Amino acid sequence: MFFAKFSLAFLLFSAYLFPVEAVITSAKPSTAAYASDAFSGVENPGQAVLVGNRFDIGFTWIRQHQRSSIHGVPPPNAILNGKFNASRTNNYYFPTFAINRNFCSYFCNRCWEWSLSLMIYNNEFIKSTYNTAVPFFGTSHLGFESLEEVIATVFSCKLNECHSVGISIDTYVNRKKVNGIEAFAPLSLDPTHLTNKGYSFAYGLGATYGWRWQITEAFSFGASVRPKVRFKYHKYKGLFPNHGELDVPLKIRAGISYWFNPKFAVVFDVVWYNWRNTTARNRNITNTHPLGSKKGSSVAWKNEIVYVIGAGYKVTDNLTVYARYSYDPTPVRRTETLVNMLPCSTVENNLLVGLSYMCGCNELALAYQHSFEHKIKGHHSMPAPLGGGNANISQRLDYVVFSLGHQY
């Protein structure tokens, strides 16, 4: 009962006061085959049992820089051209929390080692806040927000000395908000549920399955699968396809870790997101079906394959330094930059550096990540009846992450 009450209070605190632009749950990020702290079950529930008795709390500060522009539209529609600031609000803060507890149960003449975890974290936050109206879209300030908070309960079990498996039961609390697209009312199946309706909440239940294989003493492999989860946003049933439908996509992650010696380790992960199989993010703006209909238009994202490589080095028994690089090719197509002025999500190259320090049973960690600015130049991205032109979008992000862990 305490966990349930605490989870709800913490989630509401996080969702309303501390929005986040992307997912960094801890200053010691885990991978599919490397368990660093109590958040390890986020990437692979199968390795949570390897963490031991531990809890972690984290705090992240994010600063974003987002810009967009429309250019080359000829008269009489040249009034649509302009440069726009998509990050009027550019600082965000959020907390995270995770706790893991190990148990040993005797069954069939052996002790089965297993664990239970509770994790509260952000799985997605995309936000744009324009400082003005964008004439192509409407008459009020353009803006978009997509928040996805997760309360995860993880069960993990060691099958033997080499293999462990786990499942995470994921409770989702999602919210969406869209402003400034009044010009699309004639194209909507339900114009009264299109824009400027405030926050629309949706709730759902999903699962993540994980497996960890300790191949040798130094080499390990891990994999996890999260099936698609579907949500309905009733306040925007005149915008999102199928009367307000948006999905969390199928996600498959696999990775390896290798210890060259007791002090130096490297990790490598590959993550695949199946956006094309989601009803709300796979149809382009040239779609002739009304907004909000079963086959209505959306942001038309393509599938994503993310590559992550990292390394850690124990300088002393207490001090560890680490670095991680990830290449996350944007799902935004060049032909769809106009509608993607709403999420304005473009970064691809991310570099993280950090350190952690053990002091008895406590561990302090600090990390900084820079997501390099990336500009997507539109190609035939404006509707043909306007006579030409293109939309460009760009984004840059900086993160500072602090976390405190305690082994008990």
> What DSSP line would sit under 173-239, residue for residue?
EEEEEEES-GGGGGGBS-GGGSSS---EEEEEEEEEEEEEEE-SSSEEEEEEEE--EEEE-GGGTTT
**Confidence check: pLDDT of 23 > 80:** no
Mean pLDDT of 207-226: 97
Q: For residue 65, give the amino acid letter.
A: H
Which of 244, 279, 394 has its CA nearest to residue 332? 394
Q: Which of the 8 DSSP states describes residue 31?
A: B
Buried b (16+ CB within 10 A) or exposed e, 346-380: bbbebebebbbebeeeebebebebebebbebebee
**Confidence check: pLDDT of 188 > 90:** yes
Asked if 44 contacts 253 with a C-beta cutoff of 8 angstroms, the reply is yes
Q: What is the DSSP string of 60-74?
A: EEEEEEEEEEEE-PP
Mean pLDDT of 118-123: 93
What pLDDT shows up at residue 284? 57
Q: How far is CA 18 from CA 79, 198, 261, 340, in A?
A: 37, 18, 40, 24
How many CA atoms lie within 13 Å of 224's alpha carbon, on the beta-carbon side? 32
Q: Looking at the chain, how many residues does it have?
A: 408
pTM: 0.89
Confidence at 15, pLDDT banded by 50, 70, 90: very low
Mean pLDDT of 11-34: 56
CB atoms under 10 Å from CB of 170, counted, come to 22
What value does the mean pLDDT of the chain take? 89
Mean pLDDT of 128-153: 95
Q: What is the DSSP string of 328-390?
A: ------GGGTTGGGTT-----EEEEEEEEEEETTEEEEEEEEEEEEEEEE-SS-S-GGGTS-E
**Confidence check: pLDDT of 8 > 60:** no
The residue extents of the domains of the chain are 2-407
What does the block give as tokens for 363? 């561990």
Mean pLDDT of 122-126: 87
What is the CATH code for 2-407? 2.40.160.60
Confidence at 320, pLDDT banded by 50, 70, 90: very high
SS3 content of the chain, % helix, strand, coil (to 5): 15, 55, 30
**Confidence check: pLDDT of 5 > 80:** no
Name which residue leads in pLDDT, 291 or 182.
Answer: 182
What pLDDT shows up at residue 10? 34
- Give the pLDDT confidence of 168-177 residue by residue, as tens digits: 999 999 999 9
Say which residues have a Cβ less than 8 Å from residue 371's Cβ, sequence separation at least 6. Answer: 22, 347, 349, 350, 395, 396, 397, 398, 399
Confidence at 279, pLDDT banded by 50, 70, 90: low
Confidence at 20, pLDDT banded by 50, 70, 90: very low
Q: Which of the 8 DSSP states describes residue 44?
A: -
What pLDDT shows up at residue 281? 58
- Give the pLDDT confidence of 87-113 residue by residue, as tens digits: 998 998 889 999 999 999 988 888 899
What pLDDT shows up at residue 9? 35
What pLDDT shows up at residue 237? 94
Confidence at 22, pLDDT banded by 50, 70, 90: very low
**Confidence check: pLDDT of 283 > 70:** no
**Confidence check: pLDDT of 302 > 90:** no
Dihedral over Cα of 7, 12, 18, 21: its sign: positive
The rounded distance, in Å, linking the Cα atoms of 142 and 68 is: 12
What pLDDT shows up at residue 18? 33
The rounded distance, in Å, linking the Cα atoms of 28 and 44 is: 15
What pLDDT shows up at residue 276? 82
Buried b (16+ CB within 10 A) or exposed e, 43-60: bbbbbbbbbeebbbbbeb
What pLDDT shows up at residue 4? 41
Q: What is the DSSP string of 232-268?
A: E-GGGTTTSHHHHEEEEPEEEEEEEEEEEETTEEEEE
Q: What is the end-to-end Cα distance of the chain in Å, rounded? A: 21
**Confidence check: pLDDT of 342 > 80:** yes
Confidence at 288, pLDDT banded by 50, 70, 90: confident
What pLDDT shows up at residue 125? 85
**Confidence check: pLDDT of 13 > 60:** no
Asked if 308 contacts 296 with a C-beta cutoff of 8 angstroms, the reply is no
Mean pLDDT of 245-270: 95
SS3 402: strand
Confidence at 399, pLDDT banded by 50, 70, 90: very high
